[in-house]
A and B are shown apart, each in its own frame.
Chain A
């Protein structure tokens, strides 16, 4: 029989039958159902197993507070663990399975844990599994982990797309129940830009679940009418399926909108959108959540919150049971009996705690069959509707660490402490528990906000409704309890655990939470916390007020990690920056490497080359023998202009810059204020008041930031202006003995002879008959070399033209690897040496640090520990056995010393195979390295299984006197 528990009425569309699969069995429901209501309609009572004891569990609630009915939704890569059956909209073909059991759901082998429960009380694991010591990782923990967790990760990349969006509004109304609808309507009528967000797929909140009337129509109809008016309003935006999950600083709220979760197939559309909502004001009208009471076996399938029972009966047209008993401590619970009666469902008993009656125990293993009352009577019932009172949904008020306060009339915690600025609270979330009062409060709050924000139109009058009676008396646990009674259903925290926590001294609410895990489950204890705190207060003989409460943290309900990441994943995790010659490089066999955001060519493979070393050796050799071309656009370029530009440079570089002549380039060493080497590069003086600075690729952004800091904050009246031109100019190194000959074919009307354009000269010029260019005679390779820059839009053409002009010299393009080989051969330092821990003295550059002027870092570079005579110094290294390939990261040890930190002599920073020298060479830092040239030491690299003897030499492996670059 299908949908045996379906009854008349409700908001489901009976004309649209949907098939779905539950644990491999096909069932039907209707459009408008949740998975939970559809399961109940089909008489499915057992839907899951609890975390620790693997107790059978049924649907307990009807919203996002559900602790029991967590399911594994969908299949394959789209599997979604721990999804609340109560929030999943039914769609055709939905596939869901229960979680956390071994074997079939009804015969879970792990249920044996329940029998062991006396030995698994709060914190038992802190007291055992300690011996023998080695058994933790080998035995105990694997056993624990085998039973840990609930649902399963799919283990395949998430196939869906997530978007991020930004919204702005005057007023964000959180929750579209009676309060929120009333507030949003008033705000929209006032002319405010208002956003109304609700996690449900139908606005109305409890109005859809109750039989109240508003403005002389059913609550659901009124909600639909208000919704329609808001939808038609230009200044209102209604967002259903949208959970406002967090309150952040300065009126920024995070919201998650589920766009296609209710569809069988997303059709390529984003699954969810993570909204960041910028608000002037926010109104929290999130309602309240019902809670249970502690009585024996109060966790069995069939025990359900009374409000949820009404939701299933009234909204979904489903009977949670055929004979329902009601156990309540408030008037709201009594309404359940009335509503059930209306629908013709038998009410087995109404047990009112305020009259001294109570349920002692439930009977029935995988679903209740009867309840045992305090006076010993047995009442046959297959569903027990429980209402232990309502807890205002204060969650978002806690997100700035405001602490809720106890309200004895409400019998719950209401917003307290400092709310996030701009937030107000109304309705049940604020402890206003009756309908008419909540509608009025929502309206009033909106009117107040509209007034504050200067809205001028009329907000209208609040809707009329009756105030139902709300009388609640605190009632937490039944007297004379002998059976286990659950507080936190999902984490299996019982009243005994709370008592034991107190007994063992874990008495602060935070200790209670952490020791027993109360409220730490996927529902953050929404139906459990207040009961737990009340029991702790009782054990301590204190009031709940004195005991206090823990606070809720964002998110209000869990949010998919994929949604937070949005589209920033895979290749799109971070942007790519491409060099001007990228396309050309792609066409010419380049292999690319990440250099920060950039993709740079690391070598260009030629036919017949077997490995990268072949290509790199060839490129480096060709540079030394003829000429090579390398795209160096990625180096930072900063244009510096102004009457005080030279003075400015003189203060940001450690070496002198005042007297750099026009038409010359100088190597500059930049220190941090703490005296450590920060960056290096060359700066060219194009005119009296115009300089061009280059920085390393890695520090381009940071150096520019620091220069702006110096300009604006330290010396605000220097006449100097900066702009980053890294992207503006394409720049190429042209290096090798034939570079002059090549460039002579390229550059217009400029005498490139050594006398006219010597080493470290620069000029603004043109190429190929008029294309503007800048030429710098600088060398990173140690060869005769230039860097030539053209506006970036000519970069691709320039690369092609340079290669064409170089054909007669057999010019090669070279990549970052050959660049590295050349600079290591030459002994030029780079990022592996300038690590942010390096002093000028370590680099052998102390002489560059001018003592005759103030510059960033000068003063602190003089501290004692940075200038010790036996400190690390840059040196070169070659293997004594020339066939050995050195490894970077090896540590140096004196021969004969033991291999430990006390004998550490330094480390190898960079290595390369030098085709010029026919062996592997390295750079590194060695204690007193400059004084030890000619010594042999060990280069010890246990993680590379290497221990070799190396010879200490000058870092300038090639052309130590610098003849070539000056030639």
Chain B
């Protein structure tokens, strides 16, 4: 057997991993669908508590970072090492901005006493409690994925720097990119479901 790297095979493996991530979030979306069906009014009033500006800003940040990741792959394919590295740094910074935004958003909610099992929340309607339960679970899990994605991008950045990732061999960068796009993809659905359902 010749020992060339089968790039398509590596990509298939990565995609299969992404499917499992999609289904992982899928379980939560099942809960969302059922509870939204049960408490449409409470979900609307829950959505009003969230800050649409913050949400939109975060959406744009993630979309932009997805673009820079895709562009960094184009750069490496063209052997533009510095460009690729710059784009990756920008992507990681975008991830950081996203997390900082999220931190302030969560912090504001905590200050209003809206966190799981808080006294203030427990006085509210059941649907309202569930809305925030789902909000914290889904955005928390998503935030965790942002952190993992940033780590992967950072590893790719180092590998590009050391010429371990190059125009001939960039599976690692490509797979980290796929992971990052997935994080974006999930946010694309989370954003309207929580911030825009009014």
A and B are partners in one complex rather than unrelated chains = no
Which residues does B use to contact A, with CB under 8 Å? none
